[in-house]
Amino acid sequence: MARNRKPKASSRSDSSEQGKPLLDIPESEQLRIIKESGILQAAPLDITPEYENEQLLSPLTEEIFSATTLIIPHCFLLLMMEILIHYQYGKQPTYGAMAERMIPGIPTARYKNTRAMQAFLFIISLTAGSRLVYILNRASWITNMKQCPPLATAWVYSIVQLDLIPSVASLALIYGWIRYTGLKIFF
């Protein structure tokens, strides 16, 4: 039979085990000690990083980075839509046909913040979205294979590039048009 041992008395008090400090100094005393030590005068008051005043990237580098962050996902979206639409209708896509469709579809967004570009993107989103829904509901399979991938990519690209209010307005207008014409979004 095992012996029951009595727990040893711990050297710490119960208050320190509960997360309380071992020594409780009032805040006013802490401030007095800090002021007397002179540590605040030794530290520089204007703490700014050295790189803050420097320009981190050149304008060309920023433009390349911005274009790359847009080109890669949108080209992937276009490629995915091309492959999916081919397989939807039982066709085997070829590398040549994919490259032929991918090269002219490279997006750029250099002037997206100007009002003219926002208006242009708004019109693109309205036309691409409504045309995409229309041809999915009413067109033949060959028309869907030819037009859906670039239309879907242009629609997604224009919605992503638009500011929040115009993009929501565009989606609401397209939804209203779909409801008005009786087309289906889900099949």
Most confident residue range from 9-18, 134-143, 162-171: 162-171
Distance of CA 60 to the CA centre of its chain: 22
How many separate helices (H) and strands (E) can be counted in the chain?
A: 8, 0
pLDDT over 70 (residue 78): yes
Contact 125, 155 (CB under 8 A): yes
Q: What is the pTM of this model?
A: 0.52
3-state helix, strand, coil split of the chain in percent (to 5) is 65, 0, 35
pLDDT in tens, 26-76: 888 888 888 888 777 776 666 565 555 566 777 777 777 877 887 888 788
Section 74-100 average pLDDT: 83
Give the pair of three-digit tokens for residue 151. Answer: 């239309």
User: Taking Cα atoms as reference points, which of 119, 147, 118 lies closest to residue 133?
Assistant: 147
**Mean pLDDT for the chain overall:** 79
- Match 């509901």 to its residue by tokens: 137
Three-class secondary structure of residue 72 per DSSP: helix
Place of tokens 């037009």: 147
- Residue 75 burial (C-beta neighbours within 10 Å; 0-12, 13-18, 19+): middle
pLDDT band at 134 (very low <50, low <70, confident <90, very high): very high
